[in-house]
Structure 1
Amino acid sequence: MDSMQLLNDIKMKSDHEAKLLADSYGIDLSIKEIRALRPLIDDISFHWLFTGIPESFITKVKVAVGEKKGEELLRQYLDMI
């Protein structure tokens, strides 16, 4: 499964299903964190592959899940693409 499909599945599945899916990829997210991240999924752009992830988006992720976990999630995302 590619990273965009994973993000879309997390967005569309129930909280519990999204948590199980994230867990299956080694991504440790709570239900609360999944709910906080879902609105941000729509902001993700394919163009970031060429331009890099904007600092404003990175800040939003860190606000949603905390500094440490935000760094971890962004690293895992970059490893997937």
Structure 2
Amino acid sequence: MDYTRLLLEMKKRSDEEMLKMSRAYGLDFTVEEIRQLRPLLDEISMHWILTGVPESFISKVERVLGQKRTNQLLDDYLNMRK
């Protein structure tokens, strides 16, 4: 999964377009979740590839997606990097 592309596209696309795109990536987001996650995009740093995702950011995502789905998303991200 190309998370960089997905993140960049989230900023440009409509909610409905993002819903379709996220499903194409195997992510089951709702429109409301997409709306809540969008503001967090500005906090994402490419440095996290080396340092890992900060716990404070993970907590914000967990508030939107819940712990189980957030953990799955992070696991998918870590597996993609291998």
By the TM > 0.5 criterion, same fold?
A: yes
1:79 aligns with 2:79: yes
Output one character per residue of 1:17-38: Cα deviation in whole Å (capped at 9) or x when no partner: 0000000010110001111111
The runs of at least 4 aligned residues of structure 1 exceeding 3 Å deviation read: none
Q: Which runs of 5 or more structure 2 residues have no equivalent in the other structure?
A: none
Q: In structure 2, what is the equivalent of residue 60 of structure 1?
A: 60
Give the superposed CA RMSD: 1.5
Cα distance in 2 for partners of 1:35, 1:43 equals 15
Q: In structure 1, what is the equivalent of residue 7 of structure 2?
A: 7
Cα distance in 1 for partners of 2:78, 2:12 equals 22
Q: Which runs of 5 or more structure 1 residues have no equivalent in the other structure?
A: none
Identity percentage of aligned residues: 48
Q: In structure 2, what is the equivalent of residue 29 of structure 1?
A: 29
Q: TM-score, with normalisation over the residues of structure 2?
A: 0.87
